[in-house]
Amino acid sequence: MSAKLSASLEDYIEAIASLAGSSGETRAADIADALGVSRPSVTVALRALASRKMVNYRPYSIVSLTEDGRIHATAVLRKHGILSRFFNEILGADEQLADSAACKVEHAIGEEITDRLVEFLAFIDNCPMAAKGGFEYHSERRKEFREEVEKYGKN
């Protein structure tokens, strides 16, 4: 990736990539709707992204990602997917909470941590204890252990 973008601009890149789909194009109004922001806010963001050569943008025209924009979007979407899976499947957060948390964290972690999460997820995918609900079992036992400690700690 050639340029470091703010979390907000990464959200725009991610939204454009998701909305553009196979056509590779979307409209500013669709971006505003998807992100729940005003159209003037989208214009400001698109101008900033265009100045960084991340999007092809002209007022009142179709928006598309440049090659650098696609590369950046792919990296952000990858982090989002990995984090969402980790929060949902490993930590047991419901899908909506996992997705929301992933959206916040994806901007803060680098590639090294992302790669380590991928390795961890691969480990879990192949771990016999995980297949038997190992983490859930551990979590339940931990709750029971804390209850026992509290019970004896009150005497």
Q: Is 127 left (phi over 0), alpha (psi -120 to 50) or beta?
A: beta
What the chain holds in terms of domains, given with CATH numbers, is 7-72 (1.10.10.10)
The answer to pTM > 0.75 is yes
The two tokens of residue 60 are 């009142």
**Amino acid identity, position 15:** A
**Amino acid identity, position 138:** H
Picking from 54, 55, 64, the residue whose alpha carbon sits closest to that of residue 21 is 64
Residue with tokens 């803060």, as numbered in its chain: 108
Burial class (CB in 10 A: 0-12, 13-18, 19+), 65: buried
Q: Tell me what pLDDT residue 144 has.
A: 74
Q: Does residue 64 sit in helix, strand or coil?
A: strand
The two tokens of residue 32 are 């505003």
Q: What tens-digit pLDDT sequence spans the chain (155 residues)?
A: 456 899 999 999 999 999 998 889 999 999 999 999 999 999 999 999 999 999 999 999 999 999 999 999 999 999 999 999 999 888 888 999 999 999 999 999 999 999 999 998 888 888 766 655 556 666 676 677 677 777 776 55
Within the chain, strands assigned E span 55-56, 64-65
